[in-house]
Chains A and B, each alone.
Chain A
Amino acid sequence: MAGVLSERKPFLLLLILLTLNLGLMSSRVRGTGKGSVLENTIQGVASPFLKVASWVARGAGDLWGAYVDLRGIRAENLRLHAELDALTPKANEAEEARLELDRLRQLLDLRTQVPSPSIVARVIARGDAGGDFILTLDRGTRSGVEVNQPVITPRGVVGRIIQAASGSCKVQTILDPNSGVAAVLQRTRVQGMLIGEGARGCRLEYVSELADVEVGDVVVTSGLDRIHPKGSILGVVTEIAEGEGLTKIVRIRPEVGVRSLEEVLVVIKPESNPTQETR
């Protein structure tokens, strides 16, 4: 009998367990809806663990959410960077166009001030002959450009045309060592000859030792060279030194930044004896 029971032990246990479960089920089906002692006990034991696990999972979920948000922010950051990269050239182009417009507007204003006909020309090359002191413009004889016509900007004198082809011309700037412009100190009307010194600027020659010259004096064209209209700004006195003999050495810083010029005004027929200074 004991051997049979031992052999049947699993099956008997199955029957007992199934009966137990059926009993629980039937009591619940017939019951009032209140939980049994067993059910309440299991819930009582498991609930604190579930609460803690839920709390931990919620924290992990929040952490994960923050991580996902960070990833989203990173992706958005990358996207915005890409957009910025794409927009930067456009913004630069717009800024360039705006600056060009400003320059051209200034040139136009200057053109109205200059009594002679003039044309706007673009600098297309620099330093073909003699370093940065020669500029090549995109206008030539077809546009009315001729040798010895003055080239100016709203800030002052650039130089003069030394060579004119049909579609382009060369400008000898006031920085060129071979250039000479008849000049006058605006304040004291002391006259002299402005000679280019290359990258160092210019110097005013033939200024008497007794002349009244101060640092900061403005130098303008005198018009005596019959090339540049009278009164155009050339530069500012930066240094005065004792020269040889009876003259002074007067260093001038040109007003026009020759190295950064892009557009200039070529005066086609300069007024031989203008009466007003442009400043």
Chain B
Amino acid sequence: MKLTRGLLALLAAALTQGLLSHYLPSVARRCDLFTILVVYYGLTRHQTAAMVMGTGAGLVEDSLFGAILGLNGFKKTLLGYLVGTVGSLFMLNQTIPRFGILFVATLIDPLAEMLLSLTLGQRFLFPGISELLQQGLGNGLVGLLVFWIAARVP
């Protein structure tokens, strides 16, 4: 049941992200539903579930939207582990802490990608501060909406 839910959530995230990137690209640039999904799992599920979801979400993202298979998988796995660890140590079920985690997770993403790109000898263009802030804000707000909706799904 949990696996089915996870797969459905992943599918929903992939479809929504795909549609957003096609019809509302400006929104899609400021909102990464895969990151939000991993953070959600990290804060509400066990650490291992967050990591598995991170790998799954990252690989799906790579397969559908990415250039290098495994790049987002690596980042999201790491993110799932970190958020899962933080979530197991602290009570993060309030709006502001959740927003903070979503915001920080958005910042971790390009950092991890930069390190990986350097390791793999790939070029990486670090996003500007303004773009990062917009992405953090977008992920935070959409993430809170996702948390709100998920809490009402039976």
Docked complex Cα distance between A53 and B120 (Å): 35
Docked complex Cα distance between A50 and B63 (Å): 13
Asked whether B64 is an interface residue with its Cβ less than 8 Å from the other chain, the reply is: yes
Asked whether A246 is an interface residue with its Cβ less than 8 Å from the other chain, the reply is: no
Residues of A within 8 A of B60 (CB): 42, 46
Asked whether A10 is an interface residue with its Cβ less than 8 Å from the other chain, the reply is: yes
Answer whether A39 and B18 are a contact pair too, CB < 8 Å, given A21-B77, A50-B64: no
Answer whether A39 and B19 are a contact pair too, CB < 8 Å, given A14-B81, A21-B74: no
CB distance from B78 to the nearest CB of A (A): 7
CB pair A28–B14 under 8 Å, yes or no, is no
Residues of A within 8 A of B74 (CB): 18, 21-22, 25
Docked complex Cα distance between A149 and B9 (Å): 101
Q: Which residue of A10, A13, A38, A54 contacts B69 across the interface (Cβ within 8 Å)?
A: A38
CB pair A39–B48 under 8 Å, yes or no, is no
Docked complex Cα distance between A29 and B123 (Å): 12
CB pair B11–A14 under 8 Å, yes or no, is no
Answer whether A29 and B120 are a contact pair too, CB < 8 Å, given A22-B70, A46-B63: yes
CB pair A21–B58 under 8 Å, yes or no, is yes
Residues of B within 8 A of A18 (CB): 74, 77-78
Q: What string of 1s and 0s marks CB contacts (under 8 Å) between B62-99 and chain A?
A: 11100011110110011001001000000000000000
Asked whether A20 is an interface residue with its Cβ less than 8 Å from the other chain, the reply is: yes
CB pair A57–B70 under 8 Å, yes or no, is no
Residues of B within 8 A of A54 (CB): 18-19, 22
Residues of B within 8 A of A25 (CB): 68-71, 74, 116, 120
Asked whether B137 is an interface residue with its Cβ less than 8 Å from the other chain, the reply is: no
Answer whether A57 and B51 are a contact pair too, CB < 8 Å, given A23-B70, A29-B120: no
Docked complex Cα distance between A45 and B11 (Å): 10
CB distance from A11 to the nearest CB of B (A): 8
> Which residue in chain A gives the minimum CB-CB distance to B67?
A28
Which secondary structure dominates where chain B touches chain A?
helix
Docked complex Cα distance between A46 and B7 (Å): 11
Asked whether A117 is an interface residue with its Cβ less than 8 Å from the other chain, the reply is: no
Docked complex Cα distance between A28 and B62 (Å): 11
- With an 8 Å Cβ cutoff, the count of chain B residues facing the other chain is 33
Docked complex Cα distance between A29 and B73 (Å): 15
CB distance from B126 to the nearest CB of A (A): 19
CB distance from B18 to the nearest CB of A (A): 5
Docked complex Cα distance between A20 and B77 (Å): 10
CB pair B70–A49 under 8 Å, yes or no, is no
CB distance from B87 to the nearest CB of A (A): 12
Question: Which residues 48-77 in A have Cβ within 8 Å of B in the complex?
Answer: 49-50, 53-54, 57, 61
Asked whether A272 is an interface residue with its Cβ less than 8 Å from the other chain, the reply is: no
Residues of B within 8 A of A26 (CB): 70, 120
Residues of B within 8 A of A29 (CB): 68, 120-122
CB pair A13–B48 under 8 Å, yes or no, is yes
CB pair B11–A42 under 8 Å, yes or no, is no
Asked whether B52 is an interface residue with its Cβ less than 8 Å from the other chain, the reply is: yes
Question: Which residues 19-43 in B have Cβ within 8 Å of A in the complex?
Answer: 19, 22-23
Asked whether B47 is an interface residue with its Cβ less than 8 Å from the other chain, the reply is: yes
CB pair B84–A28 under 8 Å, yes or no, is no
| Chain A residues within 8 Å of B, Cβ to Cβ | 9-10, 13-14, 17-18, 20-29, 35-36, 38-39, 42-43, 46, 49-50, 53-54, 57, 61
| Chain B residues within 8 Å of A, Cβ to Cβ | 11, 14-15, 18-19, 22-23, 47-48, 51-52, 54-55, 58-60, 62-64, 68-71, 73-74, 77-78, 81, 84, 116, 120-122
26 contacts between A and B (CB under 8 A): A9-B48, A10-B47, A10-B51, A10-B81, A17-B52, A17-B73, A20-B73, A21-B71, A21-B74, A22-B70, A22-B74, A25-B71, A25-B74, A28-B69, A28-B70, A35-B63, A38-B59, A38-B63, A38-B69, A46-B11, A46-B64, A49-B11, A50-B14, A53-B19, A57-B23, A61-B23
